[in-house]
Structure 1
Amino acid sequence: MSNDIQNALSSAIFKILKPLARVMLHHGMAYGSFAELARKAFVDESLEQLRRSGKRSSISSVAAMTGLTRKEASRLAALDIDTGLNSDRRYNRAVRVITGWTVDPRFLDSEGQPGVLPMQGDHSFELLVKKYSGDVPVAAMLSALESSGTVVSDDRGVQLLERAYLPTQTPAASINILGNDVAEIITSIDHNLIHKRAARVFQRKVSNGSISASALEEFKQLSNRKSQELLEDYHAWLTAHEIHSDIPTDSTESARYVSVGIYYYDDTIHEDPRS
């Protein structure tokens, strides 16, 4: 690898690690724990690359690729890391419920907005949850949405307060989003780095370094509104093209995972809000 590529990669990795170190320090993770995870990631990815290339996935090959000893590589290959799959499922199902509420005509009011839903019966919260959350119990879903401030329930029914599910009251679920979303964007960028233009996926952003500080809040509100509208359009399209296990399909069809993410950043985000 050329010096230019090495320097560029070192700079890019350092930029990624700085905010990641901020998160780890904020939540009390010591460097030793991070280093163990980094070694594990190198071993697992080496094994994946060997499998994809059709080569034999041997510990000796992993040791050669990573610079670790065979003993250490073997230990790390057997190390079990909690990847948060259960949290992923709960988060994804909550998102599906909220988005179904915003696009499914059965749960909209006369003005096309998410309606206040009775707990049971036609056009109810119970029906919404059964339609969009799989096997998650209605009470459990209501509790999760209430604790995150996404809905409120009273004698009138269940009312949607936020059109997006953000599990702010559950730190573990919020941190799990960090792993999922950052991993996806890095994977997409890596794909675009090694593939020709025709095979690349969409990866764009708009930025401007000369925006008036007084205009930030107005733009933030604009971007929130338009981004939410776009994501709801995407979700409606994806929902219409889902494969359902109870509906016979062509045997050649297979279910695939797809996501499109939108994020907002300005250079005040990392500042101490008390200053």
Structure 2
Amino acid sequence: MADPSETPPEGANLHAPVARLLRPLVRLFVARGITFPALTTLLRELYVNVAEYDFSLPGKEQTDSRVSLLTGIHRKEVSRLRGAGAPVSVVPSAVSRTSRIIARWLADPRFTDVNGQPLPLARIGEGDAPSFEALVAAVTRDLRPRAVLDQWLDRGLVVPDAEGRIVLTEAAYVPKGGDESHLYYFGRNLHDHIAASVANITGPTPRFLERAVHYDGLSRDLAERLEARAREIAMEALQQANREAHAACETDPGGSHRWNFGLYVYAEDVPPAAAKA
């Protein structure tokens, strides 16, 4: 019988890219106190879950023996871990409300200028005039606009200008490191990026757009200039996609599908030894 710890030839060529993929995650795990035994417990549960739900055969009941064969995990452990249900990433209510309000501020023509930039908003508007109160009310009636404003001022998402209007700050685009919203989007965005890449590898033809522009051997000055320019281009693309998606949603009947359009920019100083590895 084959050693279950051995990787078949078709999987061996994944070792190097997977090691590179996992390295920054392992760095995060060590920094946040997720030990190797804790990670193996999580991976064991995920292996069983994926084999149970994603590799079932049409018209056949998935068995402990088959899950054990697929995963290399002992059948008794499989029996204990099965039935937990597929993991569901629930959007924290505060994250959902904040993102929806900001998305509308950036997309709704009532709250943007002729160039598509978010307008400074009076706290309370008169009639149909755009206001922060009207913005919040357009998204949810469950929250008092004043409570939202106080929270956003405290988090630095908005600031008052010289005329007392509410101005959206750059901090609103990027969650603070380690807070609830940042951790939620960390999991969501990495999941979708990796899922798109995996679908392109496992499918007969690439299904999703997943590309990058990259240059090596640059000076620090050029790398920093390219990073700054890439941020500008990325934000323009994201805002345009948000405006078009918002407009399309106004007449969409709704359904069970979701869509994500993401961008990333990364730069680092690579030591010569690492560059040759």
When normalised by structure 1's length, the TM-score is 0.81
Do residues 105 (structure 1) and 106 (structure 2) align? no
In the TM superposition, what are the counterparts of 1:242-261 in structure 2 within 5 Å? 242=249, 249=253, 254-261=255-262
| More off after superposition, 6-15 vs 224-233 | 6-15
Do residues 68 (structure 1) and 68 (structure 2) align? no
| More off after superposition, 20-29 vs 162-171 | 162-171
Do residues 120 (structure 1) and 124 (structure 2) align? yes
Choose from 3, 14, 35 the match for 2:19.
14
The runs of 5 or more residues in structure 2 that have no matched partner are 1-6, 272-277
Please give the secondary structure, in 2, of the residue aligned with 1:85: coil
Do residues 39 (structure 1) and 44 (structure 2) align? yes
Q: Return the letter of the residue paired with 1:191.
A: A
Please give the secondary structure, in 2, of the residue aligned with 1:55: coil
Please give the secondary structure, in 2, of the residue aligned with 1:57: coil
Choose from 217, 220, 229 the match for 1:222.
229
1:222 is displaced (CA, Å) by 0.8
Q: Are the equivalent residues in 2 in contact too, given 1:94–1:165 (CA < 8 A)?
A: no
Please give the secondary structure, in 1, of the residue aligned with 2:166: strand
1:204 is displaced (CA, Å) by 0.7
Larger Rg: 2
Do residues 27 (structure 1) and 32 (structure 2) align? yes
User: C-alpha separation between the residues in 2 aligned to 1:73 and 1:137?
Assistant: 49
> Higher relative contact order at CA 8 Å, sep ≥6: structure 1 or structure 2?
2
Quickly say closer, same or farther: Cα 1:12–1:111, change in 2 above 3 A. closer
Q: Which residue of 2 aligns with 1:157?
A: 165
1:262 is displaced (CA, Å) by 0.5
Q: Which residue of 1 aligns with 2:268?
A: 267
Q: Which residue of 1 aligns with 2:275?
A: none
1:179 is displaced (CA, Å) by 1.4
Quickly say closer, same or farther: Cα 1:192–1:110, change in 2 above 3 A. closer
Q: Return the letter of the residue paired with 2:204.
A: K
Quickly say closer, same or farther: Cα 1:8–1:138, change in 2 above 3 A. farther
Q: Are the equivalent residues in 1 in contact too, given 2:106–2:243 (CA < 8 A)?
A: no
Q: Are the equivalent residues in 1 in contact too, given 2:123–2:131 (CA < 8 A)?
A: yes
The percent of aligned pairs where both chains have the same amino acid is: 25
Q: Which residue of 2 aligns with 1:273?
A: none
Q: Which residue of 2 aligns with 1:182?
A: 190
User: C-alpha separation between the residues in 2 aligned to 1:132 and 1:188?
Assistant: 30
Q: How many residues align?
A: 261
1:187 is displaced (CA, Å) by 0.8
1:177 is displaced (CA, Å) by 2.0
User: C-alpha separation between the residues in 1 aligned to 2:86 and 2:54?
Assistant: 19
Q: Which residue of 2 aligns with 1:240?
A: 247
The runs of 5 or more residues in structure 1 that have no matched partner are 271-275
User: C-alpha separation between the residues in 2 aligned to 1:128 and 1:53?
Assistant: 48
Could you list the per-position Cα deviations for residues 119-176 of structure 1 after superposition, in whole angstroms to 9, with x for gaps in the alignment?
2334111221232458555355435533442212477132111275322065233222
Q: Return the letter of the residue paired with 2:191.
A: A
User: C-alpha separation between the residues in 1 aligned to 2:143 and 2:58?
Assistant: 39
Let me know the Cα RMSD of the aligned residues. 3.1
In the TM superposition, what are the counterparts of 1:163-202 in structure 2 within 5 Å? 164-168=172-176, 171-197=179-205, 200-202=207-209
User: C-alpha separation between the residues in 2 aligned to 1:9 and 1:133?
Assistant: 46
User: C-alpha separation between the residues in 1 aligned to 2:122 and 2:178?
Assistant: 26
Quickly say closer, same or farther: Cα 1:169–1:124, change in 2 above 3 A. farther
User: C-alpha separation between the residues in 2 aligned to 1:45 and 1:147?
Assistant: 41
User: C-alpha separation between the residues in 1 aligned to 2:54 and 2:89?
Assistant: 23
Q: Which residue of 1 aligns with 2:215?
A: 208
